[in-house]
Every structure is written in C-alpha cells, then in structure tokens.
Structure 1
Amino acid sequence: MQSFVKALGLGAAMAFVANIASAAELTFATGWGFDFYTAEIAKFEKLTGNKVNLIHLPSGDEAKVSQYRLWLAAGDKSIDVLRMDNIWLPGFVNNLVDLTDPTKDVIGEHFPSVVTALSVDGKLLAMPMESDGALLFYRKDLLEKYGKQPPKTWDELTATAKEIQDKERAAGNPDMWGYLFQGKGAEELTCNALEWTNSSGGGNIVEPDGTISINNAKAAAAIDRAKGWIGTISPPGVPAHDSEASRGIWQAGNAVFMRNWLYVWGLGNEADSPIKGKFDVVPLPSDPGEKSAPTVGVKGNAVSIYSEHQKEAIEFVKFLASGEVQKAAVLELGSIPTRSSLFDDKDIVAAMPFIPTMRGGLEGGLVRPSPIMKTKYNEASNNFWIAVNNTLAGKGTAADNLGQLEVQLTDLKGSGW
C-alpha cells in the first residue's frame, strides 16, 4: 500500500497516528465484488483506523439507480460512497462531491478518456475503479485455416465473415455465422451503433458543443450496412440479441467474428469451452481513413455530498483506485484497470494477454455523450437505439429513422442540454 500512503500524503498519515480514536465509520454501496471489497476494506481499516460498512445492492442497474435516487433525493447522511457507472453520473451531478481538487495528485495516472467519462461540467464525480471496452473477437483457427488476416475495415470484416461462414457451412456446420453483434433495443445497441458511426466518419449523437449531428449520410450508411449483415453474415434474430445471446452462439463454436465485451474472454477459455484456446481479439474495424471507436465503459466510486465524513470517504475512494487495489481487482475479478501503468504489469499481461490491445481502446475510445446531454442522456439514448433497432428490423431506412430522431432530439434539447 506504499502508493496509497503516498497518495494520502504525510499530513493525513500523521493525523491518523495522532487521532485514531476519532476514526470515522463509512458506508459503501455496491452491487458487485462483495468478497473482493470485503478483503480490501479490511486493509483500508487497518491502514487508516476508519471502519467501512459494505451495503449489498442488487445486481440489476435499474434497481441500483433507483436506490441511489431514493438515498440522494432524501439527502441521506448515512451513505458515504457509491459505486457508479459513468452514464449515471449526470443524473446525480448535484448530489456528489467534486473530486477534481482532492484527487489532483493522482488522477493523472488514469487514462484521460476514463477521467472524461467520469466528469460532468468539468467536475470529476467519481474516482476511477475499472474500465471496459468492446473488441472484435475472432476464431484464429478458422482464419488460419482459410489463410485470412483479422480485418481492419468493416468491408474486410463483411467479406471475410461471408467467405469463411459459407465454406464452414459447406464443410458440414450449417449453424455457422460470420459475425455477431448486439442489436437488441437497449443501451448496448447505442454502444454498437455509435461504434459504427464514429468509425465511419458519421460522428456521435451530438458534438462536444451540444449540436445534434447524428442525422448525416455517413451515419446512415454505417447503420444501413449493419442492417445488411442480418440474414447474410449475422443471424436473423440479432435485433433481439444482447451480449449473452451473442456469447452463447460464439461459445458454442458457431461464429467467425463477434463484437463483445471483455468478460467473454474468461468464459470462452474455461476448461469445458468448445473454443478454448481457439480465439483472440483485435480492435474493432473502421472505414478507410477513420479510427476504430470502441465504446469505453467506466465504473467509479463517488462520494455523497451529504456524507458527514467526506474527507475519510475521499481517502477511501483514492485507496480503491490505487495501483495495488486495481491490480488485485484485475487478477481476482478479471476487471480492466484504469491506470495506464498497469497495462505493462507482467502479472496482468500474463493473466490477460489482450491487455495491450485494450490499451489502444482506452487511449482513443468512444465516450458516450452523457457528460454533454447530462440528465437528458438516457432519453436521448433510448430514442437513438429505437431508431437503430427499427432500421435493423426493417422498419424504415436509416436515413428516415435518423431524420425522425433529429426531430425528437431537437424537442428534447429545447433551450439546451
């Protein structure tokens, strides 16, 4: 814990030694990693003399957000630290402590894209804990069999997926598909679709200044291309598929390529997996001249503005973001760190060979526009994925649906985000 002691500073360490009798009792609400956090909390308690009570939340995101709203709307002083997804933060901007100043000594050790994702209106609302990002999973055995390289462009993906799919079907596997993605009407489709549009020159839903820009020809072409995959290289049921539906087909050995999250790596390499050792990952494709744009998902720990122990709570979230704790989380839970230095850690690279590939995604990854749209993001995202899902399901062209989306977003924006 040397780096954490350094992060606390000499003054805080001296205060602990001199005044352990006045130690604070904190509460930390999370819906994940209970055994891991219990062990790390014990270390923090021993180091600082403070006590932390762990509150177990349900696993569902909606249930967690609803509970947070109840606590924070009531100004509940008994809740100190809350584990937050980056897209939830705009809804709690007035209820959380701005961590910009108290973390300025350590925040530079985290990827800038992560810090951006956890910030609203220039305020850092949560201390980074873990990240995630989308990658292109591919069957290296099948690409080697047919003399192919992992695709770098969407057109290369389309062509390679179709060729190998057709040859594998002819060889006796009628269930083989070329490419899997998540087309179900939900936030995950917003992630998929923004990866298509951003990597094709079609931009985000809005620009950094808040201008609505998604209704453009390149964005429409990218979404129409995805529509063209369905029934040719992607299953007809894709408009109802989430990440687990994709993983099920993939892990059964019935797909050449798949866009998915990093949790799939560990499951696909379990002892009883039919594809154990047969796959690898590369960055998502892009159009020529454009950059890969994987969605960056970030989890962080926020401090309630109603906490009566803000100083100690800030020390706790800095402790959880320390290199030692993040490394332990990687090795024990399979989470992805937010500290750039950990991507060179030999133990982590040995456990997660894809980590070097993931670095590029975090350095230039796509941050959904929740910091720009603030409390209106959820409704805007809903409108967006409905428009995309309608296109995938054959209910209008991308151009028509994006035109209707622009009208909806303009009305939602009103005088500003």
Structure 2
Amino acid sequence: MVRTTIARTLATLALGAGSLMGVQLAATQSASAQALSISCGAVGVELELCKAGVEAWSKDKDVEVEIVSTPNSSTERLALYQQILAAQGDDIDILQIDVVWPGVLAPHLVDMRAHNADAGTGHFEALIDNNTVDGKLLALPWWTDAGVLYYRADLLEKYGFEPPTTWAQMTDAAKTIMEKERAAGDDDLWGYVWQGKSYEGLTCDALEWVDSYGGGAIVNAEGEVTINNPKAVEALEMAASWVGDITPQGVLNYDEEASRGVFQSGNAVFMRNWPYAWALAQGDDSPIKGKVGVVALPKGGEDGGHTGTLGGWNLAVSKYSKNPDLAVDLALFLTSQAQQKQRAISSSYNPTYPELYADAAVLEANPFFGTLEETFTNAVARPSAVVGDKYNRVSSQFWSAVHGVLAGQQEAGPALAGLESSLTRLGRRGRW
C-alpha cells in the first residue's frame, strides 16, 4: 500500500553542532524504514504543495515517501545538508536546494542526466546553466525567481510617464513624481526603494545593476574575476547617486520586506523586489491594491540589457541515496511542466518553463507573468557554480564593497579594484 508520511519537522533547528547532530539522528531514525525521503520548505504553502505532488507521483507506485520539513532559514538548512552529506548519510534522498547551492554541494549530488538523458529539457536555459557544474546537471529547477521592477501605475499615469525601460528614465520619473507629490503635501513619498542592506540581497541588486550596463558578472564562467571594469563602475555610481535623492538613506538597512513595507504602504513610486510581492501588493488589505504594475528591470542605457538576478529553488538527489533512480524519477515528476502549471495557477509559483508564460490559464491567475518571460530568459546567475564552496565569501566581499560605495565611504573605482585583488587572492592561482 502506498503511504506518504510527514516526518518530524526540522523547522526549530538551532545552530550549533550538538543541535545539528540531534536533528540528523532524528531524521535518520524516521527515514530508515522508508523507500524515499524528500526535504521540503515550509514557507507559506510550500509544504502542502510538496505533499500533494508526492502523493500524485506515488498514487500508482508501491513506494512510501517521507517528507522532511527543513528549516525556513536558508543558512540553517544549508548547515543541516552539509552535515548530513559530509557524513555520507542517506537521511534525505531528494533535497530542495537554493539556486546558489549547486556549486557548494556539488561533490555530494548525482548527475541527473546520468539517470535520465532528457533531464532538464525545456527549462529556462539560464537555470540549467546555473545548475550545471563541471558538465553535470546537479539539480532540476522547481520554481524560479528574478528581480523585477514594481511601479505605481496610477502615479505614472497621473504625470504622463510610461513604465521605464532604462535606469535614466526610471530615475527621471521617480524624481519628478516624488517632487510633485511632496509639493502637493505627500512628504513621505520616495521615488525608489530596493535592498541596500549589507547581505545577500544586495549582491542580487548590485549584480543586476552591473549586468544591465554590460559589466558582466563578479567572476565569469571561465573563472576570471571580471568585476573591475568601467561599466561596473558606472552602474555603482548610478546606484550611489540615488541614496539621499530618490531613495531614503535608510535603504542601506533595507531587505526585501523593509522595501516592500515602504512601497505597499504607498510611500514609493518604484520598487525592486522578487515576484512574491505581487500577491501581497494586490491583497485586500493593501493600500495600493489595483494601482501596481510590474515590468522587467531597466537597462543601463540604450546599449544595455534588461536583466534580473536569478533566484528560486531546485530539487537535487543525494549521491548517498540507496534508490537514486527512483529519487530522480520523483524529482522529474515534481519539476515537470504539468506540476509547475498547477503550482502557478493555485499559488503563483513562477514556473521554469518558458511556454507557461504564454499559457492562458496561468496568465488568468497571474496576469503579470506575461511580462516576465524575457526577465527569466536573460536572468544573470550569481557565480556559485564557478566558485563552489567559497561562494559565501565571494558574495560577502562583493556586497561589502558595494555597501561601502552606496554609503559614500569609498568611490566605485577604487572599491572594485580592491575587490578584484581580494577575490583574485581568494581564488586558485589568481583565478577560479
């Protein structure tokens, strides 16, 4: 008889080796009698959707699957995975992993195409490239994210602006509307809010600025540190010019929710955020319901490009699974186009198949999805696949350098020159 069980939740995981060992043991004891186990997040409806998908797959199979609810904190979840995998434990067969983890966990994951030659077919190419390390496809895209630009459609219409296609257009519209609305008495309105806190979110924002100007990535696919270039300098100088002008000084402490709070309360004309903010901005309790539009992030001038930092989650299979073929089969089912269509319609999860952004049922449920295909097609990946387990150090050095520029502590040129030197030393023999 097919039976899907929900394992002991790991969401209360505390940091520290002792706590991690206790959690690992609990997972091992619970999962040892199962044919398969899969880790799923529990943010919002994630866990329920995971359970429904697993039940659909196992309906006609004589397989028991245990669903392990992992910590919502990405830091804690990665720490748990790293300890289990380092011990070569088979506690979890299928792991839900962040888009920046394939390179970090690469030694412990199976090559999906070694078990199914068609694995990865049809997904956005940028996602497959991101999940491929040393020629091996280590994870299947489950849902995706990329940075997008939110705008107050009512205010743009009021002052005769179209949704901007370049950063210069966005800056001009933001400044004009902010000044006119303030003159009319709305002293709390700002032109543009985003994620300026010194954390991973700033890496995402800053990489979008740099890539939109044609400044490339931090480290390119060949392992060369490329961040110190004139286009990247221009991009950071642009962003620094916003702070204290169209952007509040407090943005240097904003994360996603802080910037959403300002925008959703009606106190910003534009906002950079992930697609999740759409449903919240359109909620019944939102002061700006029905007044919001979403477009691709602006280009860095007419010669630049629309881009968005790649985000999202994937499914990977542990190299230590006792049933890797079965695990890959379940991962393929859960990440299939049919399953992703259901998730998009019911819960606004962004699919990883380009065709679904033109699907009538998906667009009826999520009208703004139709504007995002180009964003996901051209999404820029953080260099986790190239730098591997040193990604966190690379990212922290990048966001620290950028934060210093935004705070006026250093000019963009010297900051990126120093970053280049530091990352080159961190790499292997001057490169990655």
Q: TM-score, normalised by structure 2?
A: 0.89
Alignment correspondent of 1:370: 384
Alignment correspondent of 1:28: 38
Alignment correspondent of 1:359: 373
1:245 aligns to 2:255 (yes or no): no
Q: 1:271, 1:243 → 2: CA distance?
A: 20
Alignment correspondent of 2:427: 413
Which among 403, 421, 426 is matched to residue 389 of structure 1? 403
1:333 aligns to 2:343 (yes or no): no
Q: 2:50, 2:105 → 1: CA distance?
A: 24
Q: 2:209, 2:279 → 1: CA distance?
A: 26
Deviations 1:210-256 (A, max 9, x none): 11111122211210111110111001111111110100000001111
Q: 1:219, 1:41 → 2: CA distance?
A: 44
Contact 2:113–2:119, Cα closer than 8 Å, also in 1: no
Q: 2:160, 2:104 → 1: CA distance?
A: 50
**What 5-or-longer segments of structure 1 have no aligned partner?**
1-22
Aligned counterparts, 1:265-280, within 5 A: 265-280=278-293
Q: 1:329, 1:294 → 2: CA distance?
A: 22
> Letter of the aligned partner of 2:418 in structure 1?
Q
> Letter of the aligned partner of 2:327 in structure 1?
A
1:199 aligns to 2:199 (yes or no): no
Q: 1:229, 1:390 → 2: CA distance?
A: 14
Offset at residue 323 of structure 1 (A): 1.9
1:293 aligns to 2:290 (yes or no): no
Aligned counterparts, 1:17-416, within 5 A: 25-32=35-42, 33-286=46-299, 287-415=301-429, 416=431
Deviates more, 1:33-42 or 1:65-74: 33-42
| Matched residue SS, 1:258 | strand
Contact 2:112–2:119, Cα closer than 8 Å, also in 1: no
Offset at residue 91 of structure 1 (A): 1.5
Cα 1:121–1:298 shift into 2, 3 Å:
farther
Cα 1:341–1:101 shift into 2, 3 Å:
farther
Q: 1:383, 1:99 → 2: CA distance?
A: 32
Segments of 4+ in structure 1 off by > 4 A? none
Deviations 1:180-211 (A, max 9, x none): 11111111111111111111122211222111
Alpha-carbon RMSD = 1.4
Offset at residue 258 of structure 1 (A): 0.7
Offset at residue 38 of structure 1 (A): 1.4
| Matched residue SS, 2:392 | helix
| Matched residue SS, 1:302 | strand
Alignment correspondent of 1:4: none
Contact 2:40–2:50, Cα closer than 8 Å, also in 1: no
Alignment correspondent of 2:17: none
| Matched residue SS, 1:93 | helix
Contact 1:24–1:309, Cα closer than 8 Å, also in 2: no
Q: 2:342, 2:417 → 1: CA distance?
A: 47
| Matched residue SS, 2:351 | coil
Deviates more, 1:354-363 or 1:140-149: 354-363
Q: 1:350, 1:129 → 2: CA distance?
A: 21
| Matched residue SS, 2:218 | coil
Q: 2:384, 2:71 → 1: CA distance?
A: 24
Cα 1:291–1:188 shift into 2, 3 Å:
same
Contact 2:111–2:138, Cα closer than 8 Å, also in 1: yes
Q: 1:329, 1:162 → 2: CA distance?
A: 39
Offset at residue 100 of structure 1 (A): 2.2
Contact 2:34–2:66, Cα closer than 8 Å, also in 1: no
Contact 1:118–1:298, Cα closer than 8 Å, also in 2: no
> Letter of the aligned partner of 2:166 in structure 1?
T
| Matched residue SS, 2:60 | helix
> Letter of the aligned partner of 2:201 in structure 1?
E
Offset at residue 160 of structure 1 (A): 0.8
| Matched residue SS, 2:314 | strand
Deviations 1:60-101 (A, max 9, x none): 000100000111001112320100112111111110101123
Q: TM-score, normalised by structure 1?
A: 0.92
Offset at residue 110 of structure 1 (A): 0.9
Q: 2:148, 2:65 → 1: CA distance?
A: 36
> Letter of the aligned partner of 2:268 in structure 1?
A
Offset at residue 24 of structure 1 (A): 6.8
Q: 2:54, 2:267 → 1: CA distance?
A: 43
Contact 1:293–1:365, Cα closer than 8 Å, also in 2: yes
Q: 1:241, 1:24 → 2: CA distance?
A: 43
> Letter of the aligned partner of 1:315 in structure 2?
D
Q: 2:72, 2:347 → 1: CA distance?
A: 15
| Matched residue SS, 1:108 | coil
| Matched residue SS, 1:48 | coil
Deviates more, 1:123-132 or 1:105-114: 105-114
Offset at residue 103 of structure 1 (A): 3.6
